[in-house]
Amino acid sequence: MYNRNMQKPQFVENQIYHIFNRGVEKRNIFMDEKDYFRFMHDLYEFNDEDRVYNSSYFLKRGPRPIEVQPQYIKKRKLLVDILAFVLMPNHFHLILRQRVENGIVKFLQKVGTGYSMYFNQKHERVGSLFQGRFKAVLILKRAHFIHLPFYIHFNPLKLMPNYQSSTSIEDKIDFLEKYRWSSFPDYIGLKNFPSVTTRDDLLEFFDGAREYRKEAVRWLKERDLRLDKNLTFE
């Protein structure tokens, strides 16, 4: 069970963790599209053992696909594999696999510091942006591993205009496909931020992008989308 007062697990290489955090006092941490793009840029750029010397945008904006601009591609020494993500107005969720010792802590320190400095300067504020240190849960149970990507990818349905439990499954899927700040589009074969995530293992587990979409439809049909209380992040 997820506990608000949980102690951070000991991060171990090749283990998978659910990482999440929210804005201090539940404030929004993304105010506009530029903020979302900046956080996506940071997820890509700061996932590197080497220091970052150039903070320019690596991710090309505009209609899909959104990809790393070729002139900026460099060989990175990844700290983590980002298996899945979703950004919501006042919080974010990540599924990370640690690649090197202390990789998750280093990665999230870099992302948190870099994004907070950007946000505070842009929005003319001071002080902490996030509510304390990030929360982390080690994923051990197979059922949890299967459930978690869908829980994360379904989060944006809370933002769907006029959303009701009676809303059609295809309308829900269509909304999720168009929600840019999630790895869901990449998992169903629509290139969105393909350079940010490592998807091979999960896609192999779910038998490919087409089957992942079918499984998402099945989950939506079988659940009333009242999120499991053990997983809800408020």
Provide the β-strand partners of residue 85. Answer: 94
pLDDT of residue 61: 55
Q: What is the reported pTM?
A: 0.85
Mean pLDDT of 183-194: 96
pLDDT at res. 221? 85
Summarize pLDDT for 124-141 with one digit per residue, the tens.
999 999 998 899 999 998
Q: Quick: pLDDT tens for 22-75.
A: 999 999 999 999 999 999 999 999 999 987 655 444 455 555 555 555 445 567
Q: How does pLDDT run across 75-97, given as a tens digit for each residue? A: 789 999 999 999 999 999 999 99
- 192 Cβ partners below 8 Å, 6+ apart? 64, 65, 66, 180, 182, 183, 185, 186
CA distance 182 to 199: 13
- Domains of the chain (ranges plus CATH)? 16-138 (3.30.70.1290), 142-189+200-222 (no CATH)
